[in-house]
Every structure is written in structure tokens, then in C-alpha cells.
Structure 1
Amino acid sequence: MASAKSKVTITDVAKAAGVSNSAVSYALNGKPGVSEKTRKRVLEVADSMGWKPNSAAKALSAARTHSIGVVMTASSKLLGAEPYFMELLAGIGVELEKEDYSLLLRFARDETEALRVHRNWIAAGSVDAVLIFNVEIGDARVELYQQHPEVPALVFSDPSVSGTLTTVSSNDADGARQIVRYLHDLGHRHIARVAGPERFGHTYIRDRVFNEETSNYAMAYDCLHSDYLPEEGRECTERLLSLPNTPTAIVYDNDVMTVEGLHVALSKGLRVPDDLSLMSWDDSYMCTATTPSLTALARDIPKLGEKIVPMLYAMIDGKHVDNQLEPNYHVVTRGSTAALHIEA
């Protein structure tokens, strides 16, 4: 005769109650995240099954994990091609290791799966804090962590789309103004932009300011949106250069699309920068590996770790942390931009 199972687990309770492990954890630990009806059912099922909390596990759940959670939903192809996230995470990781902290990095296929990972982390106490990137307007992750202040969330986004959560934001409005002013001063009066996804808060800010500034300077402005991938940069450039009245300068919202834009221009026999100026929003080693090298709007991405990690530690300690701005962007002029040459 087989011996009876000696310990009832959360998984057992979840199966009997017909709910997820996360819902059981929320209910048994008195956390928000489930309805009162579900909470009552879980407690009744747990009691009937003789569930008892594991005192050792409970003590561990109250202790720090020395982990900071990050869930990425961008495609693996983009993460492998674009230096931004790797440079940023590397800079944060180096600073965290000084205090024996580490990044817990998870990959999700879509936003729904990412939200499930976040809910599980909250329920299980798997991380001491989280970093949230690529915030969308009305982002469900923002709402979730506003409901669960016990897990601090540091958001990389403008405060206007981050609710009450603490943010680290780049000055995208000033960056857009710098780009338009720089190209205007070179004599360009018709520019275009290959932008990121419209659903992201920072894209919305850049879109608004580009429209405002080009209007102020009486410049023509075209904009196509993309998903940051190299092939999208190539396709959007093809479309822009097929217009009856083509722009004399194109700005791209990341470096990998700029590189592809350069390839398209050269394949069409255009001289960069004599016939067409190209500019990248982000600067990286890729911008100096091309001929000509690429003018870019730059910021010190790895150094951000020195600013971000102290904020995380203060938030984990329960202290109030004000929103912070990244260091300002600055234009790095290279060979892909030049004053507009007008034939006599």
C-alpha cells in the first residue's frame, strides 16, 4: 500500500480549487490580486485539505532574494542586433554585482505572457524589485505594480505614462528638438523619420515634438513607424526614397535601422551625405563601423547603471525615490550628415 502524501502543496490546492498557483499564493498570503469570492474558495479548499504554511518557506519569502527582475518581450533577433539593451543591462549588472545582486532575466513571447511572469513574481516573492522597459500608453504592467507596492518597480519611461511608479526617463522632447534644429541649421527643409512603434510612450513624445518643431521651422516632415528591426529600416527607407518629392535627410529611431538605411541609399547610387543625410537616434559602435560613419544622438548608456542601482536599493529599503532624468542627449557629428548642397 502506497503511503499517503504527507504535505499538501500550493499546487495541490490550486488544482482542487480550479485556479492558478498565483491565485492560491495571493489568497493564502492575504495579498490583493484575486476577488473575495476566489479568496474565500481557496481558503476553504486549503482548510479542507489540511494545508499548513511552511514556516521555513514563509521566512524565506520575507527575506531578500538579491535579484532584480526584467522581462523582455522584444524579439530575440532585435536583442541580438541592437546594442542598446545589452549595453544598458550590462551596465546595471556590473553595478549590482558589487553588492552581490543579480539580474533575473526572463523572455516572453508577448505582453500577455510577460504579465503572467510579473504576477508570478509578485505572488512568490521571487525578486526584490523589477525594471520595466518599453512602456505602452495604458500599460497593464504599470497598473499591476501600482496595485502591488510591496514589489518596487522602476520604470524606464516618461512619467506621463508611468502612473505613480518611479521613473528614469530620457529627455526625448529635447532630443527631438536637437535633431530638428541640427538638420535645419544644415539647410535641410524636408526631412523624414523612421520611428519606433506608435504604442510606446516615448514614440508618442518624439512624434509630437518632431511635428511641432518641423512646423515651427516651416520644414516638410514625413514619418513611418516600424518595429525597430533592420528589415523594417530597409523597407521604410525604400518607401521614403520612392516618394515623388524625397526628403534630403532621414532620421532613424535606432542604429540598426540607420545602417540598413545607408545600405539602401548606396544601392540606389545616392551619395551620403551629398545627396542624402542620415542620422541615428542612438549611438553605438555600429555607427562608427560604416562608411561613412553615422551621425547620432548619443547618451552614455552603460553609465546609467551608476544612477539606476542606488535608486533600486533605496526603493527596496522602502524609501521614497524621486523620478530621475538621464543625462541629456548630445549630437555626435560624423560623415553621414552635411550641409544641403543645392545645384545652381
Structure 2
Amino acid sequence: MSKKKRITLRDVARQAGVSPTAVSFAYNAPHQLSQSTRERILETADELGYQPHPVARTLATGRTNTIGLVMPTGLGWVLHDPLFSLILGEIGAVCDEEKMRMLIVPAVGDVSPGMLATIAADGFVLFSIHRNHPLGKVVERTNRPLVMINGDENLRAPMFNVDDFKGAYIACQHLLEKGHRRIAVGTIAPRDDGVIIPTYERRMLGYEAAVRDAGLPPATLRPVFIRGLLSMGAESFAKIWALNPRPTAALCVSDVRALAVLNGARKAGVAVPSDLAVVGFDNLPDSAVSTPPLTTLKQDLPGRIQLALRTLFALIAEETSDDDPPPPHITPLELEVREST
């Protein structure tokens, strides 16, 4: 069976009665042609079944129509974290609307300042990068368009965060107003490399400020390192319940940790909230249907992601400049009080 001949740019030019350069302009620089000429070329290309080569088109336009989503850890965390799944979905929806592709770039292997230069993307979204993370230097030195989500506000880049400090403050204040004075804080363990995730750092500072402003001792809060996996519920709850004196409430730096604690408490026969009140952070969909429904902090996630992506696309199109990035855009949080408190 003979192989079908590949239609080339020159075939389209010959059939449309124009030069090969005009065909290239029809795809890569339409402003160089009249509307009627461009329409004739595109109609001819469609009739012949011509498809411009993606690599050649990238070389001609300098664009890949692709953004890179750079993560602070490997893919294992990315694929297990429910909040990231929501963020990924929101980013994907905006990319679909703008006909952009997305690459997930885990921070494994080479995370030197030259890392982003090896990735074929027009710009980058950096997720949860701290100034002490190796990628912090990438942010400071790269000349590629980028925005940051849940980033370190000390880094110089367009930043789109939630008000972690204020949200944590009002969550802790909620428990203090209910009379709780022995509060466990379900948080993450320090990383071996000393890197601190900025989101959780700000939340811990918010909890501590609420206790301080209430005139209570720092020992009111008892940090406990628990895993962000629902399957670790029994272990997470056991660590909190083993504290001496036993806590009457638990603040968790994420909903997934709070949901794990709820699951462990239910299996242990501990009543929530009469024996242990629990507060989460993020308002995952499961938090509204857990047993009992989880008190947590909610945000306008779609609005925040859309604003971050629109900013990135404007930088890529050179409609705006990141030479002097604006102050961080901080999305407010609202306490959603449910039966767990």
C-alpha cells in the first residue's frame, strides 16, 4: 500500500496562487495579509488537508502556546493532594478557553536557575515556592514570564495568594471564643532540606497571633506533625489524642488533614465536637459531606486562578511588564462554620 503524500506549504501556495511566504503569513503573521487573501489561503489549506508543522510554527512565531506549572515537589505529592487537583482543574479550564496547553513540571533532578530555560513553554505558573526553596533562585534570575500561586511574598514576582494569616487567625479565634484552651495544631513536619512551605508558615503565624492577642500562653497551641492523607486518619488522630493534657480541639492547616482526623476520631469512638472540635482550611468539596460536616475556611478559588492566568497571558503577550511586579493579590477567606465545632 503506497504511503499518502504529505501536503506541504509549497503545495498550498501553488494551489492558492500565492507565494510560500504568504502561506506562512496566513498562520504566523495574519496582519501582513488582506482578509480575503488569508481566507483564500486557509480554505485552500483545508481542502488539501494541510497542517502546519508545530515545531516550524514555534520557530516562526517564538510561541509554543504552552505554559509550565512548576511544583515544589515530585509528582507523588501532586497526584495525591486534593486541593492541587482542584487548582489543576481551574488552570486547565482557563487553558482550554484560551487554547493553551499545560505541562506539569515537578521539582526533581536539576532545579538550578537554568532549569526553566530547558522547558518549551511561553511562561510559567510556580506553585507554593518559598524563598529558601532552590526554585526561589529561579524566580529571581529568570527572564521568562511567570506568576506565583501560594508563593512567598518576599519573592519578586506577580503573586496570587489567599490571606493565610487572617484565615488562620479567625479559625483559632473561633475556637477560643468557644472556650477551648488546649488546642492541637495538625501541621506538616519540617522537610529534610529545611525548605518551608510558605502557606503553612503563614497559617501557623496566624494561629499564634490569635492566641497572643487573647492574652493566652503560647502553650495553648500544641503542634502535631500529621500526614495529609485520608488513609492515615487513625494515625493522625492517635497523635493528637495522645497529647497530655488531652486537647479539646484541633486546628488543621489543611482540610485533608482535618478530614483524616475526623475519620480517625469516628473509628476510635470519639465524639466530634463534644469530645474534640475540629477546624480545617481550604473548603474541599468533601468537607461539606464529612461526618460531621467540617468547619473550614473558604475562598474564591476560580476567581484567583483566573486572575493569575490572565496576568500570565498578558505578560506572555507583552501587554504588561513584570519589571516592577504589583503588590501580591490576596484573596480573603471566610469561616464556614459547620457541625465539627
Q: TM-score range by the shorter chain?
A: 0.7 to 0.9
Which residue of structure 1 lines up, in the alignment, with residue 255 of structure 2? 255
Which residue of structure 1 lines up, in the alignment, with residue 303 of structure 2? 303
Which residue of structure 1 lines up, in the alignment, with residue 43 of structure 2? none
Q: What is the SS of the residue equivalent to 2:68?
A: strand
2:181 to 189, 213, 216: 189
Report the count of equivalent residues.
275
C-alpha distance in 2, partners of 1:57/1:77? 35
List runs of 5+ in structure 2 lacking aligned partners. 1-54, 191-195
Q: Do the aligned residues in 2 keep the contact of 1:92 with 1:304 (CA within 8 Å)?
A: no
Q: Do the aligned residues in 2 keep the contact of 1:87 with 1:302 (CA within 8 Å)?
A: no
Which residue of structure 2 lines up, in the alignment, with residue 132 of structure 1? 126
- The alignment's C-alpha RMSD in Å is 2.6
Q: What is the SS of the residue equivalent to 1:303?
A: helix
C-alpha distance in 2, partners of 1:132/1:166? 10
- Which amino acid is 1:228 matched to? G
> Does residue 153 of structure 1 match 2:146?
yes
Q: Do the aligned residues in 1 keep the contact of 2:162 with 2:299 (CA within 8 Å)?
A: no
Structure 1 residues 81 and 123, CA, compared in 2 at 3 Å: closer, same or farther?
A: closer
| CA displacement 1:211-268 (0-9 Å, x = unmatched) | 2321322161111234533355543431221122111110112222212211221233
C-alpha distance in 2, partners of 1:120/1:76? 17
1:115 to 89, 111, 114: 111
- Which amino acid is 2:332 matched to? N
* Structure 1 position 155, deviation (Å): 1.4
> Does residue 143 of structure 1 match 2:140?
no
* Structure 1 position 171, deviation (Å): 1.0
Structure 1 residues 191 and 59, CA, compared in 2 at 3 Å: closer, same or farther?
A: closer
For normalisation by structure 1, the TM-score amounts to 0.72
Which residue of structure 1 lines up, in the alignment, with residue 326 of structure 2? 322
Which residue of structure 2 lines up, in the alignment, with residue 271 of structure 1? 271
Structure 1 residues 305 and 155, CA, compared in 2 at 3 Å: closer, same or farther?
A: closer
For normalisation by structure 2, the TM-score amounts to 0.72
List runs of 5+ in structure 1 lacking aligned partners. 1-55, 338-344
- Which amino acid is 2:157 matched to? L
- Which amino acid is 1:274 matched to? S
1:202 to 196, 199, 202: 199
Q: What is the SS of the residue equivalent to 2:245?
A: coil
Q: What is the SS of the residue equivalent to 2:176?
A: helix
C-alpha distance in 2, partners of 1:326/1:176? 14
C-alpha distance in 2, partners of 1:300/1:282? 10
C-alpha distance in 2, partners of 1:174/1:262? 24
Larger mean Cα displacement after TM superposition, 88-97 or 313-322? 313-322
Q: Do the aligned residues in 2 keep the contact of 1:68 with 1:131 (CA within 8 Å)?
A: yes
Which residue of structure 1 lines up, in the alignment, with residue 101 of structure 2? 102
C-alpha distance in 2, partners of 1:268/1:233? 10
- Which amino acid is 2:142 matched to? H
| CA displacement 1:67-108 (0-9 Å, x = unmatched) | 1101335565544443211211211221222221121123x4
* Structure 1 position 60, deviation (Å): 0.9
Q: What is the SS of the residue equivalent to 1:113?
A: coil
